[in-house]
Amino acid sequence: MNYALITGASKGIGKAIAFELARRKYAVILVARNEILLQELSATLRNQFSVEAEYFAIDLTQKGAPEKIVQFCVEKNLNINILVNNAGYGLSGAIDKYDLSQHTDMMQLNMNVPVTLTYLLLPQLKLQQAAYILNVASGASYQAVPGLNIYAASKAFVLSFSRGLNYELKNTSVSVTALSPGATDTDFANRASVTSAKAQKLAKQFNMQPQEVASIAVNGMFARKAEVIPGFVNKLAVFFAWLLPKKLLEKSAAGIYDL
């Protein structure tokens, strides 16, 4: 039996992707920090869709966390053909608003964990007749975002890493898809400590639902697309990020985040 391993699976887009894959009768391995939420979700998926749903609770910012996930899968003989690197978060405000360790923990989760899990699982994925990696980047991947600076930079890394890796693996059974969602109705703003009224208002105006994003993402992944941008507004925003002068975009973003 093949499994889809999903990080950040207890909430938001990760949880929605778990539902979407389970609905399509894929067995799942759910990874996140909150064991209670993972227990509840795994039970729900088993009961609702009659699929296998394993879970592993761990703080992915901890040293060696990806290796522990892989070891868990090896010990339980769980064969993986889908890897969803979804776990991540942002921090809103100027760089010196936070301790350095808060930034480095975020960078560890957003960048190092996807690379490490991909590296560790790639030999197994290459053995599959068809295998998929879905890396969750962001609409913020396409420009510098003062006020959400390090987060945007980390997601630009994810986007670049995904596209480059997809090309490297073009002659294998493994495809790599970068998902770049815009505003989505998740807990992201609270986790990122977004206090700007303008940012909160814009998010509410353009929020997509996680279920919609997940459906588009999974469809794009199985279609082996290198890049998926869900929603017309988000596609338009990416186009303008390419078209407009960088200083104008940065000034606009800084205004949204009260800088």
In DSSP terms, which residues pair with 85 in a beta bridge?
135
Q: At 81, which amino acid appears?
A: N
- Pairing type for strands 131-136 and 227-228 reads unpaired
| Residue ranges of domains in the chain, CATH in brackets | 2-256 (3.40.50.720)
pLDDT in tens, 213-254: 999 999 999 999 999 999 999 999 999 999 989 999 989 888
**Predicted local distance difference test score (pLDDT) of residue 29:** 98
CB atoms within 10 A of CB 58: 17
Query: 136 to each of 159, 171, 213, 252, how far by Cα in Å?
Result: 8, 23, 11, 24
**Predicted local distance difference test score (pLDDT) of residue 195:** 61
In DSSP terms, which residues pair with 136 in a beta bridge?
179
Q: Please report the beta strands in 8-51, taking only residues with DSSP state E, as ranges in sequence order.
A: 27-32
Query: 241 to each of 58, 114, 140, how far by Cα in Å?
Result: 36, 25, 9
Active site amino acids: 151
pLDDT in tens, 137-194: 999 999 999 999 999 999 999 999 999 999 999 999 999 999 999 989 887 877 766 6
